[in-house]
Amino acid sequence: MIGKCIILCAPSGAGKTSITKYLLQQNFGLEFSISACTREKRPNETNGIDYYFMSVDDFRLKISNNEFVEWEEVYTNNYYGTLKNEIDRIWKHGNHVIFDVDVKGGLNLSKFFGEKALSIFIKPPSIKELEIRLRKRGTESEETIQRRIKKATLEMDFEKYFDVTVENNNLEDAQQETAKIVSSFLLKQQ
């Protein structure tokens, strides 16, 4: 049986990863789709769990071999993508796929999977609050923070293309609201 897809998208720092982790703890039969990327691994991340970290050359080879459902060069030589074999792995387990991706990737996935997918935009209360959250992480340089804020400002314009929006003013409330939306979608027959 081929399952459904839950696509969580948001500007960096809006809370999509925290909400994704919460949804995975619920009994929805969800399994996380691990994205591939070429960015540097952060100290708290593990290859094959948080991302499949690879070199730019390896990523480009997979592009030329048509091994991605979707991919994007987010910044110069900084690629992210969803491997086809990752989706197959999850569906073979009989689970539904949950994606934690950027906005452009989410739109591409939504288009690819059609009615089998629910796309959810996680919206921060404001760009200023987003900047505060990014700074609290303590994992990125000032240049990276500024680049992420600039990108987030552009990404907010794409909210209207998603099936549902959840505003993350309070993480616990946003988690519970998203769980209700996801549960309803997964229980709906297609």
At 38-68, the pLDDT tens digits run 999 988 999 999 899 999 999 999 999 999 9
Burial class (CB in 10 A: 0-12, 13-18, 19+), 7: buried
CA 150 to chain centre: 18
Report the interhelical angle of 171-187 vs 16-25 (nearest 10°): 50
Query: Exposed, middle or buried by CB within 10 Å (0-12, 13-18, 19+), for 72?
Result: middle
Per-residue burial over 32-47, b = 16 or more CB atoms within 10 Å of its CB, e = otherwise: bbbbbbbeeeeeeeee
73-111 pLDDT, tens per residue?
Answer: 988 899 999 999 999 999 999 999 999 888 888 999 999
* Residue 31 β-bridge partners: 97
The percentage of the chain sitting over the pLDDT mark of 90, rounded to a whole number, equals: 70
CB atoms within 10 A of CB 76: 7
The pLDDT of residue 190: 55
Residues 6+ apart with CB under 8 A from 42: 139
Classified as helix, coil or strand, 15 is coil
The C-alpha atoms of residue 5 and residue 185 are separated, in whole angstroms, by 10
Model pLDDT for residues 1-20, shown as the tens digit of each residue: 478 999 999 988 888 989 99
46: tokens are 């593990």
Give the pLDDT of residue 80. Answer: 92
- Domain ranges (residues) in the chain: 5-187
CA 13 from centre of chain: 12
Token couple for 113: 């999977």
Closest among 14, 5, 18 to 167, alpha carbons compared: 14
CATH number at 5-187: 3.40.50.300
